[in-house]
Each structure stands twice: as structure tokens, then as C-alpha cells.
């Protein structure tokens, strides 16, 4: 699937500021995308059961549970989204655990927006992406 075609994104982050920033930046970069944002694992699972999303951006440190657990749970859906773990953590163990849980890609929150956009494009194409500073 190409990122210039319509696709849907579910943002899961417990910070309203981050959710809002992600949503605004993604809408500017991908005007054809449908974007929803929720603040918890519980809300994410409820939303993902109502609608099939192409991509889920999952913060690995959620207030109500681990984003890694959410990634594993989302994989149980009939049509799970492709998952991109997003975190402030830049240690390789978090990248490894995210990928083992089922994430296709990992983006550190401190990276430029362009990396998130590239991660989405690569993930939609069936490839993995790891933030440049972490891919060593």
C-alpha cells in the first residue's frame, strides 16, 4: 500500500499534547489518511475492534498498561494493524522487545518528524524501520 493512497492510522498515546501533535503533523503530511487518536490500551482495543486500521502508532509506555502488551493484543485481531512502536526510550532493548511483541517499526520520539513519516511509508510497504540513531 502506498502512502499517497488513503490509509488509516490509530494513534495510542497517554499524552494529549503528543496525540494532538501527531495527528496534526500526520494530517499535513498524509492528507488522504484517516486518523484517530486514543489515550489508553483499553480505548485502543475498543477502537480497533470497531474499525480496521492500517497502522497503529503505539507509545510503549502507556498510563494504563504497557504498549508492548497492547501490541501483542492488537495482533490477535482478525485484521491487525501494522504497528509502529513510538517511545522516548532509545535503548536497543526497547527496540528488540517492541519487535518481538509484533511491531514492524520503532521510532524514537526525539527524532525529526521526517523519520516518523518515513517509518509509516516503509511499514505500509511491508518493510521495517528503526530510527536512524538506533539502527546500529
Domains in the chain (CATH in brackets) are 8-130 (3.40.50.2300)
Q: Tell me the whole-structure pTM to 2 decimals.
A: 0.91
pLDDT along the chain (136 residues), means of 10: 78 95 96 96 96 96 87 95 88 83 91 93 95 64
pLDDT of amino acid 96: 85
Report the C-alpha gap between 2 and 105 in whole angstroms: 16
pLDDT of amino acid 92: 77
Alpha-helical runs (H) found in the chain: 16-29, 41-50, 67-74, 92-101, 113-124
Per-residue cell: 60: 510503549
> Assign residue 86 a region: left if phi > 0, alpha if psi is -120 to 50, beta otherwise?
beta
pLDDT of amino acid 114: 92
| Helices and strands, number each (H, E), in the chain | 5, 6
pLDDT of amino acid 4: 67
pLDDT of amino acid 54: 97
pLDDT of amino acid 120: 97
Contact present, 5 and 124 (Cβ < 8 Å): no
pLDDT of amino acid 41: 94
For the chain, the first-to-last Cα distance in angstroms comes to 28
Q: How far is CA 53 from the centre of its chain?
A: 11
Contact present, 68 and 97 (Cβ < 8 Å): yes
Report the C-alpha gap between 105 and 119 in whole angstroms: 7
Residue 46, class by beta-carbon neighbours within 10 Å (0-12 exposed, 13-18 middle, 19+ buried)? exposed
Amino acid at each position: 500500500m502506498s502512502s499517497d493512497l488513503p490509509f488509516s492510522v490509530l494513534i495510542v498515546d497517554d499524552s494529549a499534547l503528543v496525540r494532538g501533535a501527531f495527528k496534526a503533523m500526520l494530517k499535513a503530511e498524509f492528507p488522504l489518511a484517516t486518523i484517530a487518536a486514543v489515550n489508553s490500551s483499553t480505548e485502543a482495543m475498543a477502537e480497533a475492534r470497531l474499525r480496521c486500521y492500517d497502522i497503529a502508532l503505539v507509545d510503549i509506555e502507556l498510563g494504563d498498561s504497557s504498549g508492548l502488551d497492547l501490541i501483542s493484543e492488537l495482533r490477535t485481531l482478525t485484521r491487525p494493524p501494522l504497528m509502529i512502536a513510538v517511545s522516548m526510550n532509545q535503548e536497543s532493548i526497547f527496540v528488540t522487545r517492541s519487535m518481538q511483541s509484533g511491531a514492524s517499526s520503532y521510532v524514537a520520539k526525539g527524532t525529526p518528524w521526517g523519520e516518523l513519516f518515513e517509518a509509516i511509508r516503509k511499514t505500509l510497504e511491508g518493510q521495517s524501520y528503526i530510527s536512524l540513531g538506533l539502527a546500529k
